[in-house]
Amino acid sequence: MCRIRKPVFFFCIMLSLICPFTYGQFDDDECKKRGDCPKKEDEFELDEVIVTAFHGGAVNITPTKTIIDIEAFDKSGAVERVEDILTHLTGIDVLRGTSGADPQQLVMMRGFDDSRFTIAIDGRTITGPTAGADTYVDWSSLTSADIDKIEVIRGAASAQYENSQGGIINIITRKGSTRETLKPKITFTNDYSRYNTFTSRVAVDGGFKDLTYFFNYGYKTSDGFLLNNDYEGYDYSARVSYLFPFEGYLTLGVKYSQLKAGYAVVNDPNSTYTNAYNPNYPIVPQDADTIRRYRAVSFPGGDNYKDKDAQHLDLSFDQPFNRSKLKVQIYESSGGEDSYYYTVSAGRLQQLYSGGDARAEKQIGGRLQWQMDYWENNSLLLGYDQRRMEVKSTPDVWRMNALYAEDTLAITNRLTAFLGLRYAHVREFTYAYSDVRGTPAYRHKLYTRVLLPKSTLTYKFTDDTQVYVSVNRDYHVPGC
């Protein structure tokens, strides 16, 4: 049996990638001798290199990320929430319990759930890695009305984040546009669909001179497809920006959502625990996995719903220079949930509850970034990240300080290399436990220091085909 040694195999791959560059160099030397070299193409900036586009130009792929333009994407159909867009992307799966806003829906990225990839708004993470809630991200709060574009980074390739084995989804919010008049642009939409589903939204975009704003409010309600699968909720967001004479701009943003959603319950005429069968809804057997999702199966006859809210506060300052940009961010994310379900416990149906202070979470942090584009084919990013996480019933779960650097180099017009490095220092408190049986339990303090190298090599064969190799080290932030 013939075997290929690994060093030889990888050498062949690297040689095949380098060959186009090598042949191009030989051709260039020959034409110089003849004096008939063609005119060189204009140099390009890395962020503007578009490999290909889908959905009528709404989805663009660069060597480092996939960028989705919300306005262009919305033209192809109704887009209410972020997951409506993610369902169209390869490698992302959205598992829903309802056809509308579902606070329990599960988003999978490259096989990982949202405890293993990062969700960010304007570059700063909103992912809560605590196990104190059924879902790590409240996807129902991420409506598309106040979003300009979405950036998707494959795998743990970015040094700006940890906890991103599956990748990073960065949501870029919509800002108010500069106007010469006080007259704002107001849009109002209503939508009605089956299962008595109704959504309504109003957005106001305006400002005057250097002061701009964007306000957005939405309401949604539905009876749902399954028994007790109804929901009702609202959300709002606001962003105000001011452009200084020295071209720096200050932005203040707030985003809030509240949703009350019923858990789908058993609707089985042959149920062994209840005879509350409703023939107006589809049959749901008591062993159905579709109504289990991280919890016990709910039965009719009691309260079965979740009441959840989420809030994000942001203050940022951006200062562009000649060929660089400085950005400072301060932010806070908080949320809570109360869950009621009527289920089988100890062999009989009982009303159960979870929530309160144990599921009231908060993250507070700040970021400092310096983007440098002084070189024609090279882009360098340096940054500092600080975050702390707490739960109301368990304060001061962990604190993190991190330094990171990212370097993107266009080796040729087809070959792009990305290198990154992140150093993180984490101080965390454990659950309370005893060192010796019979002694008082207390929360132990632990310190963790991690170094996370990142590397990605991308090669573009044609405008429609590219291949990449990525080797990265990642770290999962502990929960409470």
Q: What is the pLDDT at residue 465?
A: 80
Q: In this structure, which long-range contacts are made by residues 184-191, counting pairs with CB atoms below 8 Å and at least 24 apart in sequence?
A: 191/78, 191/80
Q: What is the pLDDT of residue 364?
A: 93
Give the pLDDT of residue 23.
38
For residue 409 the two structure tokens come to: 């180099």
Please compute, for residue 184, the number of CA atoms within 13 A of its CA located in the half-sphere on the CB side: 16
pTM of the full structure: 0.79
How far is 3 from 219, CA to CA, in rounded Å?
62
Q: Which residues of 76-97 are buried (b: 16+ CB within 10 A; e: fewer)?
A: eeebbbbbbbbebbeebebebb
DSSP code at position 331: E
* pLDDT value of residue 138: 62
Tens of each residue's pLDDT in the chain, 480 residues: 344 344 433 334 333 433 443 333 434 455 555 555 555 444 444 444 443 344 555 777 776 788 888 777 765 555 667 777 887 777 787 776 555 555 456 777 887 777 778 888 899 988 764 444 444 566 666 777 778 888 988 888 899 998 888 888 898 887 766 677 788 889 898 888 888 888 888 989 888 888 999 998 989 898 888 889 898 999 899 999 999 999 899 999 999 989 898 888 899 888 887 778 899 889 988 877 666 555 678 888 889 998 988 899 999 999 999 899 999 999 999 888 898 988 887 778 889 898 888 788 889 999 999 999 999 899 999 999 999 988 888 888 899 999 999 999 999 988 999 999 999 999 998 888 898 988 999 989 999 999 999 999 999 888 778 888 989 999 887 665
Asked if residues 381 and 397 have their Cβ atoms less than 8 Å apart, the reply is: no
**Confidence at residue 15, expressed as pLDDT on a 0 to 100 scale:** 37
